[in-house]
Amino acid sequence: DQQVKQNSPSLSVQEGRISILNCDYTNSMFDYFLWYKKYPAEGPTFLISISSIKDKNEDGRFTVFLNKSAKHLSLHIVPSQPGDSAVYFCAASVNFGNEKLTFGTGTRLTIIP
């Protein structure tokens, strides 16, 4: 039973445009969310996170939005660059007292030059 779902296996975006990656979750206990980025033949690397007390967190070209009522979060990349081509994983956790992360299946983002 997938508690964290990324329903789009792949996404192609023109360089310079906005990339929007989506993630849905079912467990209402989740209160901390993360995005990881993965290049081929490498392990995932942390990108950005958000606590449930916020609805937006921004870091340079990357912004994560959280809609708790809809149990939905999204990652916006503006502007998209060729180096952003990678697989993006959404992850969720109960922040306090638990280090366990539940990951989604990933979305492969391809930036078209």
Q: Which residues bind other proteins (CB under 8 A)?
A: 2, 6, 32, 34, 36, 41-46, 49, 89, 91, 93, 95-106
User: At CA 1, angle to CA 63 and CA 90, rounded to 5?
Assistant: 15
Smallest separation, CB 92 to other proteins (Å) = 10
Comparison of 32 and 79: residue with beta carbon closer to other proteins: 32
Strand partners, 108: 10, 87
Q: How far apart are CA 92 and CA 12, in angstroms?
A: 25
Comparison of 21 and 91: residue with beta carbon closer to other proteins: 91
Smallest separation, CB 104 to other proteins (Å) = 6
Peptide bond into 79 cis (omega under 30): yes
How far are the Cα atoms of 15, 30, 68 from residue 51, in angstroms, in the given order?
A: 30, 9, 11
Smallest separation, CB 100 to other proteins (Å) = 6
